[in-house]
Amino acid sequence: MCVSAAPARFADTILYHGRVRRPEHGLVHVLGYQNVAANHATGPNAMLLHLPGVGMTQDNFVDTSGARHILRNMVHALDPPTRSYGAAPGGAPAGGAPPPVQVFEHDIYTVVLATDASLIPDALRLVPEHRRIPVNRPLFDFYARSYPGHAIALCCFDNRDAVRSDPLLLWYVPRHPDRLELPAVDCHTGGVPQIGAPVWTDHWVILGTDEPVPASGAWRSSPPLVWLEAERQSPAAPFLPRAVVGRTYRGSFPNGDFMISQADLMAGRMEAMSRVGPGGEPLGPFPPRPAPPSYDPPRRRHRWPFGR
């Protein structure tokens, strides 16, 4: 559930999306992302995330070094799943819009945050050489064409071995407050993603809110969340949910993003989650989850041809 600028492998992916209200910003959306990344390129690599937010700056990236297990704790709270199938908050600089391109360090990444993907190539010279990727114009052009108005975060890294980074947690003022849009376009080769083509999916998708939730739908079995004292005292605390629902998605799905309306989320209608392309274009319903195979015990022993 990620797009990389060159060949890579991502495993154990957790994707979280929540809604919270902040006194200084009102309603904001929160994206959480974590995986184990292995760079298969001969040099540096990067992953791209497109974010339907406005006015984003470095301050929108939350420091999670004191709350490294928040996403994993959400998974543990939901296992068995409900349906099995910062730095202190900142914002746009006072007196105007943020610069169109910003480059900064965050955890294992050097982040290039741009208001338009076409601005990324010229900004790569500001990335330290050991993390600087070659210019991938076809990929950047795809994002500029497909996701206009989205903030694009290029997270550059250089790790030869699988490394679990701190959770990536960021917040933004949403372009569409009435829906939750989760970036999930997939392509790990460095090529241009093929929207709608079947891709293998194996990850958790978790939704959360700081609002009171009804005892209906998926919320009926929503577990209580108990945050550790260190997590409650961390910069991530203002962005943590009071309740979550979620499920695993495993199998072949059309390549695209996840989307659910705020109304469906608050009603606990997880089955309303849809797979969409750029602009929220539906990519078709999820295939029904097959029934688990019945167990038929063997009636006789078989001789293994190569021993046991």
Rounded CA-CA distance 190/6 in Å is 4
Domain boundaries, the chain: 3-280
The tens digit of pLDDT for each residue in 237-277 reads: 999 999 999 999 888 999 999 999 999 999 999 999 999 99
The tens digit of pLDDT for each residue in 95-140 reads: 467 899 999 999 889 999 999 999 999 999 999 999 999 999 999 9
pTM: 0.85
Residue 5 corresponds to which tokens in the numbers above? 């600028």
pLDDT at 294 over 60: no
Question: How distant, in Å, are the alpha carbons of 32, 136, 260, 285, 292 from that of 176?
Answer: 18, 29, 11, 22, 38
For the chain, the three-class secondary structure string (H helix, E strand, C coil) is: CCEECCCEEEEEEEEEEEEEEECCCEEEEEEEEEEEEEECCCCCEEEEEEECEECCCHHHEECCCCCCCHHHHHHHHCCCCCCCCCCCCCCCCCCCCCCCEEEEEECCEEEEEECCHHHHHHHHHHCCHHHCCCCCHHHHHHHHHHCCCCEEEEEEECCCCCEECCCEEEEEEECCCCEEEECCCCECCCCCCCCCCEEEEEEEEEEEECCCCCCCHHHHHCCCCCCCHHHHCCCCHHHCCCEEEEEEEEEEEECCEEEEEHHHHHCCCHHHCEEECHHHCECCCCCCCCCCCCCCCCCCCCCCCCCC
Rounded CA-CA distance 49/35 in Å is 13
| Mean pLDDT along residues 171-195 | 95
Residue 291's pLDDT is what? 45
CB 243 within 8 A of CB 73: no
The tens digit of pLDDT for each residue in 41-68 reads: 888 999 999 999 989 999 999 999 999 9
For the chain, give the mean pLDDT: 86
Which CATH code for domain 3-280? 2.60.250
Residue 303's pLDDT is what? 36
* More reliable by pLDDT, 11 or 75: 75
